Amino acid sequence: MFCIFPVMKKLLNYLQISPGFIFFIFLMSYLLVVESRVRADDKLAEVFLPDAPIAQFLAALFIIFIIRISINYLERNHDAPRLNFKSYLKYFGVSFLVYLAISNFLTFIVALLFETVSRNFNNYTITVNNISRGVQFIMFGSIYLATLYSRENTEYKLKIDKYSQALDHNRIKNLKAQLNPHFLFNSLNTLDQLIEEDKEEASNFLNRFADLYRYSLETLEKDLIHLEEELNFVKDYFEILNMKYVNCYKMNIITNNNLENSLIPPFALQLLVENAIQHNLGTDTDPVKIIIRISDKISVLNTRVMKLNNKSTNGRALKNLSAQFKLLSGNDIQIKETSDSYEVILPLINLETNA
């Protein structure tokens, strides 16, 4: 008896429904059967018999189970169902076809076992039964999908609220963290040297430096920006660093994807480029190579020439970056580390799926 409860709990968790939802489905099944019996002028003593309502309830649970399996299969590469009408229409359509196929197959097997194929599996009975199944599926399937959508939407809003609160707490720190006073001091020193040595180069440096701060101010209040904007920022950021570490670091950007609809949290790539430079010692004869590759994901890979007594200071920054991607896309970042290279893989966020 007691072992039933853990099984029921696992089933409810798998279907992502509550005991209250189960009770509602049972009550609805019971009332539908009662209504059909009253319309058929059945005897009053037979109207409230539980046999047909239980069968109807089990059929409703079967529909819900089929939908859950279909969603899990269709979204096997995602952490959760996607919150858009097209996806839910796909869940509905695929589940409906699977439900009809399984129901007709089971009906045929039963008819075959009892040798009633000609009577219970002819064109007329198949048509009538499938219409009845279709009505049941539309009714119970729509209720289940609507419940799922409401739940996923609520959870998504809670995640966004949580993410927004974290952003509000860290936004003021963002400028200091991304372009810190140490970097500002070194940049001004570099500018001072360039003014004396090469005024044209100093002017170029100042323009790029101004773009960095302008970008920071423009993106301070944004959760996501276009990937192309971030790439342009990283190029300017790297050029400034390259004026200090002349030819000690090489950066290459490879794009195999249309960037128009691709989004990314501000400073995500800048953080990874800064991380590569901070933890690796490049020279003009043996430069550290940084490769940013964009396809169906974003890869930032750098060769490793570890500094002596190197201390990891960007662990928290990478965790924060991973948390941002988890909240905004549902996917974690990946880190691949070998003795020769260090690679961070970011999920690509598309404008359509984020809308």
pLDDT band of 12, cuts 50, 70, 90: confident
Burial of 253 (0-12, 13-18, 19+ CB in 10 A): middle
CA distance 135 to 125: 15
Contact 230, 266 (CB under 8 A): yes
The sign one gets for the Cα dihedral 173, 180, 306, 283 is positive
Residues 13-36 pLDDT 10s? 888 888 888 888 888 888 888 877
pLDDT confidence band for 88 (50 / 70 / 90): confident
Cα 77 to Cα 53, 157, 201, 297, 336: the distances in Å are: 38, 22, 49, 14, 20
Query: How much is the average pLDDT of 80-98?
Result: 82
How much is the pLDDT for 172? 38
> How many CB atoms are closer than 10 A to CB 154?
10
**Locus of tokens 């974690």:** 332
Return the pLDDT at 185: 67
**DSSP-derived pairing of the beta strands 349-350 and 262-264:** antiparallel
Q: Where are the alpha helices (DSSP H) in the chain?
A: 4-15, 19-39, 44-47, 51-74, 85-113, 117-120, 123-136, 142-178, 181-197, 199-219, 227-244, 268-279, 315-329, 351-354
| pLDDT, tens digit, 9 for 90 and up, residues 107-162 | 888 888 887 877 777 888 888 888 988 999 999 999 998 888 888 888 878 877 77
Residue type, 228: E
Under the banding of pLDDT at 50, 70 and 90, the label for residue 175 is very low
Q: Is the pLDDT of residue 40 over 50?
A: yes
pLDDT tens digit sequence for 227-285: 999 998 899 889 888 877 888 999 999 987 677 788 888 888 988 998 898 889 999 89
In the chain, residues under CATH classification 3.30.565.10 are 179-354
pLDDT at 170 over 80: no
What does each C-alpha distance from 97 to 37, 102, 106, 159 come to in angstroms?
29, 9, 14, 34
The fourth-level CATH superfamily of domain 179-354 is Histidine kinase-like ATPase, C-terminal domain (3.30.565.10)
Express each pLDDT in 138-149 by its tens digit: 999 999 988 888
Mean pLDDT of the chain: 80
pLDDT reading at 195 higher than 80: no
Of 43-52, 169-178, 242-251, 335-344, the least confident: 169-178
Place of tokens 């430069």: 287
pLDDT at 176: 43
Pairing of strands 288-294, 249-255: parallel
For CA atoms 235, 293, 278, 225, give the dihedral sign.
positive
Residue keyed to tokens 């996923």: 152
The answer for residues whose C-beta is within 8 angstroms of residue 142's C-beta and 6 or more apart is 92
pTM over 0.75: no
